[in-house]
Amino acid sequence: MKISINEIFSIGWHSGLIDFKNQSSDFSIEYKSITADSRKAVFGSIFFAFDGIQHPGKNYIPDALKNQISAVFVDQKYESELNEIEKNCNVPFFYSDNFKEMAAKTISLLYQNPSSRIKCIGITGTNGKTTIAWAIYSILKKLNKRPGYIGTIGIELPDESILTSLTTPPVDEMHRLLHLANLQHGDFMVTEASSHGLSQGRLAGISWDIVMFTNLTEDHRDYHKTMDDYYLAKKILFKNWADNYKNSNGAAIINTDDDYGNQLFKWLKTSYPELTTISVGKKSAMVKIISISPSWKGYHTQIEFNGNTYILRSKCIGSFNIYNLTMAFIGLVQLGFHSDEVLHHMENFTGAPGRMEMYHKINGGMILVDYAHTPDALKKSLETLKELQPEKLVVVFGCGGDRDREKRSQMGKIADENADFTILTNDNPRTEKPEMIIDQIKSGISKNNYKVIFDRRQAIEEAIYNLQSNEVLLIAGKGHEDYQILPEGKIKFSDSEVVRETICKI
């Protein structure tokens, strides 16, 4: 593959010590791969020297150069420091004072602008991203399309599955995945847009068709210092969508029952009145959720949109899931799919792995595994299960170590107020002492309606053994995760697997 020097300069880069003035106008740089990871740099790679959280990008250039790479793109602020390294190699260096944005734009160009050749759907918010993304992805497959999915559950391309540890991969990987989807004749890519990914520019350079905002509640306060900082990170997705609007069927779909969602909706409508921005909610919204009827078998919902009334039936448990599925429904309709077809497939959608994943004990007790790991998510999950009027509601949960400590007592208080009984256990304590984490959760509990079992498997097993008919057990915090990070290291562990094994023993 090749990129001409003129293309590089036209984007906004300038060269370092190598003088290209005497080269012909069509002089090009040949490349075989693109990477921002010096460990993955090979012969013919173009290397982008992004700053890491702890180390500047310039530090990784010497390692990349050992592998006979084709070119280096780096932040202009390091230009003078890199002169000596440039003098001793025959590799062109290119600089920009707007590095992140220019790098994303260039990476996209090097992959032949893959997001322009596939419909891209991005979902952001604290809770609900995975359920919406997985619903859209699953229904697109039922509609005989070739979608991809990038998010918390992993990476699904039309012809392959890829393991990942990040909800939102790095920017070079994002464009590579879109390129692979192009090669595999993919027609849609559904992406969870995390606040970390947005603030770090991992989704830069992507042209979006549909973008969605679910809600904004307490989370990631170890990273975002204020809620406004957190909101501004989410807002990046909508600014990028608006600035690179490519599809007349495109839309921004926003839950305006959420205060930050309402703020985002007003900003978009004022700043970009010509673009399609759709509000969703029970209050005065363009898509109005009229009624929600819960049952142990699922939910029945009435929706009004564009003068039409739709009946959405779902096997997913949770009133909050009605918002998620309504947004997924509107997104698919906005993309041009017939509402009846979408509703038919939505009725058979059972949810994303680890999101209100339902199991039944032989004696009739209901068990749900859910990823709820924030105060808001735990509260919504417990309030939803109370709507089913169980004789007893039990919750098993803990909090992650080396993460936001403020939410621990809040989650203890929420369990205390909404569950009949709580079993406190380890989540992913990481390097913190489990006893300290549990004590901080306990500080929010005022009743004597709990017990502590540090071993998570033992906690789940005891809760299931004691569960009676017409009682409900919520196992919260880890959802789809198939591991547990303990002070002594990472082990294989799955809440769902433990539930299935325990039920089989009864």
pLDDT of residue 220: 47
User: Which helix H or strand E contains 308, and what residues bound it?
Assistant: strand 308-314
| DSSP conformational letter for 405 | S
**Domains in the chain, start-ordered, CATH in brackets?**
2-110 (3.40.1390.10), 115-347 (3.40.1190.10), 357-505 (3.90.190.20)
86 vs 19: CA distance, rounded Å: 12
| DSSP conformational letter for 254 | E
Per-residue pLDDT of the chain (506 residues; tens, 9 = 90+): 999 999 999 999 999 998 887 777 678 999 999 999 999 999 999 999 999 888 999 999 999 999 999 999 999 999 999 999 999 999 999 999 999 999 999 999 999 999 999 999 999 998 899 999 999 999 999 999 999 999 999 999 999 999 887 889 999 999 999 999 999 999 999 999 998 899 999 999 999 999 999 999 855 445 546 888 889 999 999 999 999 888 778 999 999 999 999 999 999 999 999 999 999 999 889 999 999 988 878 889 999 999 999 999 999 988 888 999 999 999 999 999 999 999 999 999 999 999 999 999 887 799 999 999 999 889 999 998 998 899 999 999 999 999 889 999 999 999 999 999 999 999 999 999 999 999 999 999 999 999 999 999 999 999 999 999 999 999 999 999 999 999 999 999 999 999 999 999 98
User: Could you tell me the strand order of the sheet in which 93-96 lies?
Assistant: 14-15, 93-96, 71-75, 45-49, 33-35
Q: Which residues make Cβ contacts (< 8 Å) with residue 241, sequence separation at least 6?
A: 122, 208, 211, 250, 252
pTM (2 d.p.): 0.87
430 vs 194: CA distance, rounded Å: 22
435 vs 441: CA distance, rounded Å: 10
Among 213, 198, 342, 205, residue whose Cα is nearest residue 277: 213
- Angle, CA of 342, 384 and 481, to the nearest 5°: 75
- Angle, CA of 259, 131 and 137, to the nearest 5°: 125
Residue 380 near residue 324, CB atoms below 8 Å: no
Residue 346 near residue 312, CB atoms below 8 Å: yes
458: which 2 tokens?
């033992």
Ranges assigned E (strand) in 105-199? 119-124, 147-151, 154-157, 160-162, 188-192
User: In whole angstroms, how large is the CA radius of gyration of the chain?
Assistant: 25
Among 80, 43, 88, residue whose Cα is nearest residue 62: 88
Burial class (CB in 10 A: 0-12, 13-18, 19+), 381: buried
pLDDT of residue 88: 93
Ranges assigned E (strand) in 380-449? 392-397, 421-424
pLDDT of residue 223: 53
| Entry field: residues in the chain | 506
User: Which helix H or strand E contains 340, and what residues bound it?
Assistant: helix 339-347
